Structure 1
Amino acid sequence: MKEDGHTIFDPALGTLNLRLQLGVRADSAHEIAATILASVSVLERLDPRPMEWITVTRAAPATAGGDFLPRNIDEATSLVESGARKDDAGKFYEGSGYFVQLVSFLNGTDRSVSPFHASIADGASDAPSHNSLKLTFKQAMIPSRETFVACLVELFDLWLPERGGLFSSAITRNNRDQPIWYPPVGVVTYFANDSGYVFPEDPLVELRHLPNGTLAVLKDWTLDAVQKYEAAFRAVNNGIPNERSAVRNHMRNTDSSNLGNQHNGLLQEQEAFDRLGVLLHGLLGPGDERIELTASVTTSTNEQHFYIFNPNGRFSSQNGSFNDHGGTSEVSRAIKALREASYRVGSGTWFGVHFVVTASGNPTANYNFDHEPEWDFPVAPAVYVRDQLKYPRDEHRQPEWLKQKLREAGI
């Protein structure tokens, strides 16, 4: 990312990525496709060099092929629908949402220069789905810093995130071992109007009030400036996210009598999710691309498998070369903490999770709420009895396999 031949930010910041937390919302495939096409137009104005856009799957390397991004809204809608997120049994539920990955390449470069890479998860209305957008632009040509910020403002207006910004890999590393009490602060940081967070007035930053939120743009894009403003942000917000924090999207269909409990649960769940993401990111080393965790969990069992993908990994799979890892006791505790924070009265909690964290620190997760977990070795029906006592589900919300296990245990 360059400005007239010079980097536009302090190299000590490491890699900068745009990350937006979109909240839980039931956007349709058509709405998501329209937003994607509008976003591509914004990015092409930012870096006007002729380029092609392709769509790739999670597993396929970007240089291996992929379909060209259609510019027709109906075809783009079909593309989004083809990326429907499914459960472990391959079934798509209306509340599961969609996943799209886009990569741009400069024309005539044999796909050796990729200005933009976007990963989009959206349209999920189930609380644990973590809709998000991540955009990298390491090889983009940026005319100026102000042009860059103007592009970000357009993207915020298109995607309407709850929060987001332009974040630094160096800050992620520095905060890796700290409890996750706050959202990250970047060279550019955004919060929706009803987020509950307050941007402190400070000579370090310019505050811009947008129609749906506030943007804080650091005047100096340096590691020192980010750290100083991060300290000021924490001092003003004084602790964990306060009671005004945004929960509107999570609660559209929630009975008003349960709002307080749902609110607290969602905040705890987000904190636990962030904590596990930070711990998994800490297991990555030089050259690693991402870590994938699959776990089957009950109150008394916690079976985990770790896959650290690296082009030079010892093992091969259809998703690429990888190294294995034994995990840590701290990660095990974080998995159980996330499962406990995900519990909702009457609905229970999940039995399995597939958690992915990229080298740049972007976490995503898919949960198994309703299907019998897979175990390397069978577990006794009594395991599910203990789990039901700890995290009870109403009978009408118990899948048939769980009812059968409880009957086998004499319940």
Structure 2
Amino acid sequence: MSTTQPSGRPSSEQRHDELLQHIGGMLLDAAPDGFRRIDLLVRMTVAVQDATLKVYLPDGATPEVMPPEGLNAAFQEMRQVLYQPGRGTWFSARCVVNAPVRIDITYNFDHDPRFDPPVPAADFARDLQVFPRDEAFVPDWLRAKLVEAAGDPREDRPAGTSPEGTSTAGTSPEGTSTEEQNA
């Protein structure tokens, strides 16, 4: 019995590979001929995208190379493709291309991406709404950002929801519903 994917929409693994090839192609096109290594660090939330690109030449020089057009969009899709229900998605990725064309990529699902300059805590709360995580997969640094976002009056989450996006309407601080208290 065959277990091949039906034609049409590619699997997440296939799409990941396609995106990685596309990203690698963009990086190779952006790098000067004869490069030794390309090092790309991407940090993302749904609201903020930051890409730092460094190219190393054989003589140790590091010419200024701008991240190619379309790179952020490819990585935004990569966040969606790699989203795992309950587990979340990555906050930063490092892509290294060693000459001639060896591509290695690693994803950070758990550690603070350390944006420079720092981004508002509300950006992490919004990210968690789009890419939800089970409580067990919310690291301490992210939990602190959610607490900070909850205290930020600029936070624009819907009334009656917690930073995690769960409803707070009709519950007491002890977690019992208003109906249970009035019964």
Return the TM-score normalized by structure 1.
0.34
- The one-character-per-residue Cα deviations of 1:206-258 (angstroms, maximum 9, x if unpaired) are xxxxxxxxxxxxxxxxxxxxxxxxxxxxxxxxxxxx517xxxxxxxxxxxxxx
Match for residue 170 of structure 1?
none
Query: What SS does the corresponding residue of 2:132 show, helix, strand or coil?
Result: coil
Structure 1 or 2: larger strand share?
1
- The one-character-per-residue Cα deviations of 1:333-372 (angstroms, maximum 9, x if unpaired) are 1121212211111111111111011332221011111011
Match for residue 307 of structure 1?
54
Tell me which amino acid in the other structure corresponds to 1:407: V
Structure 1 vs Structure 2: percent identity of aligned residues? 30
Q: How many residues align?
A: 148
- Unpaired stretches in structure 1, ≥5 consecutive residues: 1-193, 197-241, 245-262, 313-319
Q: Do structure 1's residue 284 and structure 2's residue 24 form an aligned pair?
A: no
Match for residue 15 of structure 2?
268
Match for residue 243 of structure 1?
5
1:39-50 paired onto structure 2 within 5 Å? none
The question of whether the paired residues in 2 share the 8 Å contact of 1:296 and 1:303 is answered with: yes
Query: What SS does the corresponding residue of 1:409 show, helix, strand or coil?
Result: helix
User: What CA distance in whole angstroms lies between the structure 1 residues aligned with 2:97 and 2:28?
Assistant: 6
User: What CA distance in whole angstroms lies between the structure 2 residues aligned with 1:366 and 1:306?
Assistant: 15
User: What CA distance in whole angstroms lies between the structure 1 residues aligned with 2:79 and 2:133?
Assistant: 14
Cα RMSD for the two superposed structures:
2.1
- Unpaired stretches in structure 2, ≥5 consecutive residues: 151-162, 164-183
Partner residue of 1:348 out of 66, 88, 91 = 88
Stretches (4+) displaced over 3 A: none
Query: What SS does the corresponding residue of 1:367 show, helix, strand or coil?
Result: strand
**Shift of the alpha carbon at 1:285?**
2.1
User: What CA distance in whole angstroms lies between the structure 2 residues aligned with 1:287 and 1:271?
Assistant: 25
Query: What SS does the corresponding residue of 2:13 show, helix, strand or coil?
Result: helix
**Shift of the alpha carbon at 1:396?**
1.1
Partner residue of 2:66 out of 326, 333, 357 = 326
Query: What SS does the corresponding residue of 1:357 show, helix, strand or coil?
Result: strand
Tell me which amino acid in the other structure corresponds to 2:37: R
Q: Greater RCO between the two (CA within 8 Å, min separation 6)?
A: 2
Query: What SS does the corresponding residue of 1:285 show, helix, strand or coil?
Result: coil
Higher Rg of the two aligned structures: 1
The question of whether the paired residues in 1 share the 8 Å contact of 2:26 and 2:68 is answered with: no
Tell me which amino acid in the other structure corresponds to 2:76: K
User: What CA distance in whole angstroms lies between the structure 2 residues aligned with 1:296 and 1:352?
Assistant: 4
Match for residue 407 of structure 1?
147
